[in-house]
């Protein structure tokens, strides 16, 4: 008779797998993907090192899953905002501010996801999620153009420019050796938001501009 996994065993395996992934993500958040060593993951997860390989064939496979989970969560959050009922301009602003704001608050993890030198597998994941990020902007821009909120532009080219500009702008401030975020992280966020909105032909309302000025004043 073929072995059939019981619900209890499946639940236990799922818990162990979750513990391993959480441990690996914690290490990435502390020191980037370079900090993910299988012995350290095992220690943090409370399992034997050999146990890790029952769930993930290699460090690369484990890192890829961590990258995929975190990126999927972040993109899901942005997609939810983008699919809301607010005007396109408001959704665009919220998506920009949410992405940049979460990046500066989770600085080390964000740097690992956006800019840390990685192997080809993680580079593939990064490229996939950047395309996903751009598609979120495509939807908002197309809505805005269709409704007359935004000027007529090539939504796909504009979205690609915006999705590329954000991580590029964040690389320097997020870098481990940088001190740019130490005193005024809001300034970085608001500069990114303002630049990307301008690229889409959107000017900040006066009330928002005044708020931005207060946030960016040292």
Q: Which residues of the chain fall below pLDDT 50?
A: 207, 209-210
> Which pLDDT value is given to residue 28?
97
- The predicted pLDDT at position 6 comes to 81
- Which pLDDT score is estimated for 201? 85
Domains recognised in the chain with CATH numbers? 1-56 (1.10.10.60), 67-216 (1.10.357.10)
What is the predicted pLDDT for the residue at 207?
Answer: 46
pLDDT digits (tens, 9 = 90+) for 116-173: 999 998 999 999 999 999 999 999 999 999 999 999 999 999 999 999 999 999 999 9
Predicted local distance difference test score (pLDDT) of residue 205: 60
pLDDT of residue 183: 85
Please report the pLDDT score of residue 203 as a whole number: 74
pTM of the model: 0.86
As a three-state string, the secondary structure of the chain is CCCCCCHHHHHHHHHHHHHHHHHHHHHHHHHCHHHCCHHHHHHHHCCCHHHHHHHCCCHHHHHHHHHHHHHHHHHHHHHHHHCCCCCHHHHHHHHHHHHHHHHHHCHHHHHHHHCCCCCHHHHHHHHHHHHHHHHHHHHHHHHHHHCCCCCCCCHHHHHHHHHHHHHHHHHHHHCCCCCHHHHCHHHHHHHHHHHHHHHCCCCCCHHHHHHHHHHHCC
């Amino acid at each position: 008779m073929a072995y059939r996994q019981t619900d209890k065993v499946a639940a236990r395996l799922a818990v162990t797998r979750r513990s391993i992934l959480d441990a690996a993500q914690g290490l990435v958040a502390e020191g980037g993907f370079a900090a993910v060593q299988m012995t350290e993951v095992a220690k943090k997860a409370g399992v034997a090192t050999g146990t890790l390989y029952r769930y993930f064939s290699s460090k690369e496979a484990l890192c890829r899953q961590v990258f995929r989970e975190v990126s999927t969560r972040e993109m899901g959050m942005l997609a939810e905002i983008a699919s809301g009922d607010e005007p396109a301009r408001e959704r665009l602003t919220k998506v920009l501010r949410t992405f940049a704001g979460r990046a500066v608050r989770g600085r080390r993890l964000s740097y690992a996801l956006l800019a840390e030198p990685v192997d080809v597998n993680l580079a593939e994941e990064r490229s996939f999620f950047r395309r996903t990020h751009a598609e979120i902007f495509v939807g908002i821009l197309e809505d805005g153009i269709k409704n007359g909120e935004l000027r007529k532009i090539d939504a796909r080219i504009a979205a690609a420019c915006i999705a590329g500009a954000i991580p590029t702008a964040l690389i320097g401030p997020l870098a481990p050796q940088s001190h740019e975020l130490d005193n005024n992280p809001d300034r970085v966020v608001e500069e990114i938001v303002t630049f990307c909105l301008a690229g889409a032909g959107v000017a900040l309302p006066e009330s928002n501009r005044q708020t931005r000025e207060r946030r960016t004043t040292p």
